[in-house]
Amino acid sequence: MKREAAWRVFAGEYNDSTVEIKGEGEMAPSYVVTPLGAKVNRVFVIGVLTDVENVSEDGDLVRAHISDPTGVFTLYSGSYQKEVTDALSEIQSPAFVAVIGKVRTYKPEDSDDIYVSIRPERVMEVDANVRDKWILETCKNTKDRIEAVLEAMKMDESNEFELRKLGFSKDLSEGIIAALKAYKNIDLNKYVKIIQESLQYLVPGNNNLPEMKPKKSNNQKEITNENIEEENLVETQSADKNEGQKDESEESDKDFAEVEDNVLKAIKEIEGDDGAAWDTITESCEKQGLDKNTIEEALTSLMDKGLIYEPVLGTIKTT
């Protein structure tokens, strides 16, 4: 049996997955299908290991979290992966780590919801440069999947054969067909934004990144009526209006980046060896004129970027 390739997927896409393809037979692989059609059995992720905790009395099972610019991966490792479990437990968080692992799903009783996690097969510490290269490569992979989904939407009847004729891999073609059937409203702009924010994270303050909106196709009207709202795919018809919206968006991003900088500075001033209390951070930032909702948004964004973490509920530390 061939070894499954490890997909590069952001947490923001992976955690949106609600589709599972069960393999037939005892040794047949199972897959999670993401909204962009990644047919995932194994993943390769890099981010900030923010915490590792024992979730069993004997310490044989640990749960860990790895943060990338778009969200947080959850890992579970037990006695069957003792070497990996020990490695996770010995790493002093926060730390940049690379993980290759297999997808895992959990479905609560009396619920149709599926929750995804990762069972790590290999864990190693890396540096920021390696993490940044992973972000860039994952941006490229995500963009390729967005384009593949759009190609499938252009077809009168999307099918794997036609996608493969366009040069897409067998696994991606199969995954896209499964995704289009299962996910009725795929918000492609959400994943375009994930790419843009991840690139912005690599080049803070650079507002001249390329536009990455999905292009309009000839039969876009028919596609979007059946799959997603039209405004999620089409570009603005008026160039002047588009430029104005772009300027407003850039100004808003710049303002929020300043808010994040101020909140991060406040945390660094307050935190001691044990970190800073969430309420103390909020009070300090409110004195600077920031409202509570904006402060909480900034704290969440900083955690997603791996610049801060929560070692204990209600306590924040910088990485």
Give domain limits for the chain.
Answer: 6-126, 134-246, 253-318
CB-based contact 138:197 (threshold 8 Å): no
pTM for this entry = 0.64
If one compares 270 and 55, the residue with the highest pLDDT of the two is: 270
Residue-averaged pLDDT of the chain: 79
Peptide bond preceding 311: is omega within 30 degrees of 0, i.e. cis?
A: no
On the 0-12 / 13-18 / 19+ scale of CB atoms within 10 A, 162 is: middle
The tokens of 303 are what?
């955690």
Q: In the predicted model, what is the mean pLDDT of residues 3-16?
A: 88
Residue 290 has a CB neighbour count (10 Å cut-off) of 17
The pLDDT value given to residue 211: 46
The pLDDT value given to residue 224: 35
**CATH level 3 topology of 6-126:** OB fold (Dihydrolipoamide Acetyltransferase, E2P) (2.40.50)
If one compares 260 and 23, the residue with the highest pLDDT of the two is: 260
CB-based contact 287:270 (threshold 8 Å): no
Compute and round to an integer the Cα radius of gyration of the chain: 21
Mark out the alpha helices in 6-157 (DSSP H runs).
11-14, 82-90, 128-154
The pLDDT value given to residue 313: 59
- pLDDT category of residue 99 using cuts at 50, 70 and 90: very high
Q: In the predicted model, what is the mean pLDDT of residues 22-28?
A: 65
Calculate ∠ Cα 246-212-247, nearest 5°.
10
Calculate ∠ Cα 256-202-42, nearest 5°.
115
* pLDDT > 90? residue 5: no
